[in-house]
Structure 1
Amino acid sequence: MNEVFYVLAPVFALGLIGYSATRFRFFTSSHRDGLSKYVFDFAVPILLFSTVVELDPPVVSATALFASFYIPLSAIFVLGLLISWLLLKRPVVESMVIGLGSCHSNAVLLGIPIIPRALGDDAFFPLFLLISVHGITIFTAFTLVIEIAKGRDAGLANLPRQVLIGLIGNPLIVGLGVGFLWKLTGLGIHPIAADVFDLVTTSVTPAALFVLGSSLASYSVSSSVTAALLVTTLKNAIHPLAVFLFGSWLGLEMLWLSVATVLAAMPTGINMYLFARRYQVSPPTATTSIFISTVSSVVTVSIVITLLKSI
Structure 2
Amino acid sequence: MLSVLAVTFPFFALVLCGWLAARVGVVPLSAIGGLNTFVLYFALPCLLYRFGAGTPLAQLLDPVAAGVYFGCALVLVGTVVLLRWRRWGWSDASFAALVTAFPNSGFMGVPLLVALLGDASAGPVILTIAIDMCLTSSLCVALSRLDAGGASGAGAALRQAVRGMAVNPMPISIVLGGLASAFGWQLWGPVDRTVAMLADAASPVALFTIGAVLARSQRNQHEAVAVGEYLPLALAKLLAHPALVWAAGTLAMRLGLPLSPFTLSVLVLVAALPSASNVAMLVERFGAHTGRVAYIILASTVLAFFSFSALVAWMV
Give the drift of 1:149. Answer: 4.4
Distance 1:148 1:189, change over 3 A: same
* 1:178 correspondence with 2:176: yes
Counterpart of 1:245 in structure 2: which amino acid?
A
For structure 2, the residue ranges without an aligned partner over 5 or more in a row are 254-258
Match of 1:234 in 2: 236
Counterpart of 2:309 in structure 1: which amino acid?
S
**C-alpha distance in 2 between matches for 1:184 and 1:19:** 40
Cα offsets for 1:105-131 (capped at 9, x unmatched): 122121122111111110011111221
**Please, which moves more after superposition, 273-282 or 139-148?**
273-282
Counterpart of 2:269 in structure 1: which amino acid?
V
Q: Which of these residues, 283, 287, 291, is aligned with residue 284 of structure 1?
A: 291
**C-alpha distance in 1 between matches for 2:165 and 2:216:** 28
**Please, which moves more after superposition, 174-183 or 115-124?**
174-183
**C-alpha distance in 1 between matches for 2:27 and 2:60:** 45
TM-score by length of 2: 0.89
Match of 2:132 in 1: 134
Match of 2:34 in 1: 34
Give the drift of 1:207. Answer: 0.4
Match of 1:122 in 2: 120
Percent of aligned pairs with the same amino acid: 23
**C-alpha distance in 2 between matches for 1:263 and 1:106:** 8
Distance 1:274 1:40, change over 3 A: closer
For structure 1, the residue ranges without an aligned partner over 5 or more in a row are none
Match of 2:69 in 1: 69
Give the drift of 1:285. Answer: 1.2
Cα offsets for 1:49-79 (capped at 9, x unmatched): 2222233345796121012211111111222
**C-alpha distance in 2 between matches for 1:301 and 1:59:** 24
Counterpart of 1:123 in structure 2: which amino acid?
S
Cα offsets for 1:257-306 (capped at 9, x unmatched): 11111111111223543444344443211111111111111111111211
**C-alpha distance in 1 between matches for 2:158 and 2:16:** 40
Distance 1:117 1:84, change over 3 A: same
SS in 2 for 1:151: helix
TM-score by length of 1: 0.90
Match of 2:44 in 1: 44
Distance 1:159 1:16, change over 3 A: closer
Q: Which of these residues, 93, 107, 111, is aligned with residue 113 of structure 1?
A: 111
Counterpart of 1:292 in structure 2: which amino acid?
A
**C-alpha distance in 2 between matches for 1:60 and 1:290:** 27
Distance 1:253 1:85, change over 3 A: same
SS in 1 for 2:109: helix
Cα offsets for 1:180-199 (capped at 9, x unmatched): 23344434234433322222
Counterpart of 2:111 in structure 1: which amino acid?
P
Give the 5 Å matches for 1:136-155.
Answer: 136-155=134-153
**C-alpha distance in 2 between matches for 1:237 and 1:153:** 33
Contact 2:49-2:177 at 8 Å conserved across structures: yes
